[in-house]
Structure 1
Amino acid sequence: MSEQIPREITDDLCTRFLNNLSDNIAEDEIQLMFQIELAYWYYLDFCVEDNPALPKLNMPTFVEILNRLYPRVFASLPNGKSMTKICTTFNQYKLSCHTVGAILLNKDYTKCLLVQNYNLPSTWEFPKGKQLPGEEFTGCAIREVQEETGFDITPHLDPSAYIEHIIFDRYNRHYMIAGISEATAFQPQTRNEIRSVTWFYIDDLPRYRNDQRSKRNINLSPHLFFKIVPLMKELLEWVDYLNNSINRPIVVHSNSLTPKHSNPTDTQHSCSDIKHHITPPFYSQIDKQKIQPRFSPSQSAFLEPLETTSFSLPERRFANGRPKPDPNSVKSPVSTTITEYSLFSQISFSSILLTNFSFDRNILAACFD
């Protein structure tokens, strides 16, 4: 089996990816398998593509060949365990890995960037990928977006601006990146992974399963976008927030630690200026330690309460026009004061009755006499 791949090719692969590994990688089965996977993809993307006569091996067979030729490199793998089982365990681990990516919006927030997978040409999704062991979320997003689009989001990335879903302890996080020029040249950095990178109008994308707007508008079936549908609710709220002339983003200026509302006439802002997470019910997870908005006295004008008019239930009458008594009718007008905040201000509300509630210890003690 080892003769299927020329020895000079396996030597080159071993030199590139498996020799001189640090002890923490060489002694860890999962991290070693990540390195072997890099060698495997390099073999398929470069060696086989340049020489079609080479066999297109599956991952377990490829690992068997390298293990037979370079047993010292694979010393950390369990003895007596087949490469097929090791690869199965590795694949199960990858399914439990967190996935991190980014949602790129154009300058007027009407389009988002989607990528088409090489192996799944019928699927469009946001650029993302699996988090490597020991890798930060932001670092993973930067790496994956750059690999899949060739664009560096580092200067645009705000670590606190993201949409996140958690399914069975598996994080799926997308950082919000707005204000990207549509003239940007996107060029995937990896072979045989991304087939196409395209801007799509957000209004053309399906909001829910079987939403036919994509079929009507761009003649693409909604099932092609099944990977982005769970994120559309939060994405639409984010875009609505950016486009709302009243609820402008709260900006943290470099010369001040106090958040200030941006000028409504100022259109030069991006998602990196926003310091709030998108947290609609049932979808996003909230980092409670970061939800501590502070407002300076100069901002009181933005938090003025809105007084509502007094109201009462309509009077019920008999057929002859005489008033009909109603025990449930409101005897006295009710006046309510409502303070309206931005949707994303993350300020929690409490009932006035609850805030004024206190225990009467004497009454409680009397209950046990």
Structure 2
Amino acid sequence: MAGLHRSSSAPSKNNLPPQELLDDLCSRFVLNVPKEDQQSFERILFLVEYAHWFYEDNSVENNPSLKSFTLKEFTSLMFNSCDVLRPYVAHIDDIFKDFTSYKVRVPVTGAIILDEYYERCLLVKGWKGTSWSFPRGKKSKDEEDHTCAIREVHEETGFDVSKLLNKDEFIEMIFGQQRVRLYIVAGVNDNTVFAPLTKKEISEIAWQRLDDLQPANRDVISRGVTGLKLYMVAPFLESLQKWIASHQPIGVPKANMPLKALSMWKAKNSSVGGSNSTAIPETHTIKPAPPPPATAAAAAADFSHSSSSGPGKSFRNFRFDTSAILRAMETAFSS
């Protein structure tokens, strides 16, 4: 994509977005941001990621002739199209590699939601692939663990756990350099309506029987007895079973019949789905507008303890050429 520059407003023959659209994305998500968001490539890549979400969820949906891109492809496109980023195109592989390495160190929090019988848990399946997980996501800068969990669960399921979450009841594990904390939220009615608030992030939400899931061990590290892929579920199950054994209240009601796995929401246009899930009509939701560029600094997690080594380390002290930004902004707003 090197040297990409077009003035036409119509998509090119290879379905790349028109330069007019790319200029708008660059101005909106990269140029028109506070200075603190211009301090490192990590923060800039978070801005590019916002632009990518906006492009996929708005531009592509409103104009099917536009091509969808992976984040890496879109990042390359933005760097080639945005004047203040173009000087760094030669280093884009290192920059992107450093960003993905950075992201896997961001702490993750979420919730293990149990039904009122303590026999099923709520799992979500990603938009791409077939793996299931508990609803969870990465912390923003200076965000408290439980606040992140409430936000992420709400975004991925549409359910507000703020009144049910106990900050002292959680299971925490370390995967590589990433800390994952899941708060246990028990006693949720299985008739609760669930639906993600974001597009193209979650393909299905379902109650799954705990008896059908298996804790991680040498033989079972990713799948339950029903064949579900449980890479980020299995490691928590042993601790969860112990928690249930010690916290399940005496006299908790038992179901009149064996509880089955139950799909609560499924994306209509998703091509992936578990063989044991029950398809239901898509619940139509509206994705909230992407976080304004002014909040991008909050999206980059604060790692005062992170190492300066690793891929792309020479770019950690990156600073934009402020004069170039001002000139670009003046040009954008005067046109």
TM > 0.5 between the two? yes
Q: CA deviation at 1:55?
A: 2.3
Q: 1:137 matched to which residue of 2?
A: 145
Q: Is the 8 A contact 1:111 1:200 kept in 2?
A: yes
Aligned residue for 2:245? 240
Instruction: Give the equivalent residue in structure 2 for 1:227.
Output: 232
CA distance in 1, matches of 2:206, 2:252: 29
Among 100, 110, 120, the residue aligned to 2:109: 100
Secondary structure of 2:184 counterpart: strand
C-alpha distance 86-141 of structure 1, shift in aligned 2 (>3 A): same
| TM-fit CA distance, 1:244 | 5.2
Q: For residue 113 of structure 1, what is the aligned residue in structure 2?
A: 122
Deviation at 1:11, TM superposition (A): 4.0
| Alpha-carbon contact 2:110-2:136 (below 8 Å) kept | yes
1: CA distance, partners of 2:147 / 2:25 = 26
Following TM superposition, by how much is the alpha carbon of 1:213 offset from its aligned partner in structure 2, in angstroms?
Answer: 9.9
Question: What TM-score comes out, normalization by structure 1 length?
Answer: 0.58
Question: Considering only CA atoms, is the larger Rg found in Structure 1 or Structure 2?
Answer: 1
**Local SS of the residue matching 1:82:** helix
Query: Match for 1:175 among 183, 199, 206?
Result: 183
* Two-structure CA RMSD over aligned residues (Å): 2.7
Asked if structure 2 preserves the Cα contact closer than 8 Å seen for 1:114 and 1:126, the reply is yes
Separation in 1, partners of 2:188, 2:101: 36
> 2:48 maps to which residue?
36
Match status 1:55 vs 2:79: no
1:60 to 1:232, Cα distance in 2 relative to 1, 3 A: closer
Contact 1:116 1:195 (C-alpha < 8 Å) held by counterparts: yes
Partner residue in 2 for 1:10: 22
Give identity over the alignment, percent.
32
C-alpha distance in 2 between matches for 1:243 and 1:2: 62
Residues 228/43 of structure 1: CA separation in 2 closer, same or farther (3 Å cut): same
Paired residues of 2:80 and 2:89 also in contact (CA < 8 A): no
Shift, 1:14, TM fit = 3.5
> 2:166 aligned with 1:161, yes or no?
no
Q: Which residue of structure 2 aligns with residue 187 of structure 1? A: 195
5+ unaligned residues in a row in structure 1: which ranges? 246-264, 268-369
* Alignment-derived partner of residue 300 in structure 1: none
Give the number of the structure with larger relative contact order, counting CA–CA contacts within 8 Å between residues 6 or more apart.
2
Matching residue of 1:259: none
Secondary structure of the structure 2 residue equivalent to 1:155: coil
- Specify whether residues 136 and 31 from structure 1 end up closer, same or farther in structure 2 by C-alpha distance, changes over 3 A only: farther
Residue 201 (structure 2) pairs with residue 201 (structure 1): no
The gaps in structure 2 that reach 5 residues or longer are 7-15, 254-335
Aligned residue pairs total 239
Counterpart for residue 354 of structure 1: none
Aligned-partner Cα distance in 2 for 1:154–1:44: 30
Q: Is 1:24 equivalent to 2:32 in the alignment?
A: no
1:59 and 1:87 in contact (8 A); partners too:
no
Per-residue Cα deviation, 1:198-242 (whole angstroms, up to 9, x for no partner): 001211212345569953xxxx215x1232111001111111122
- TM-score of the aligned structures, taking structure 2 as reference length: 0.64
Counterpart of 1:225, as a letter, is L
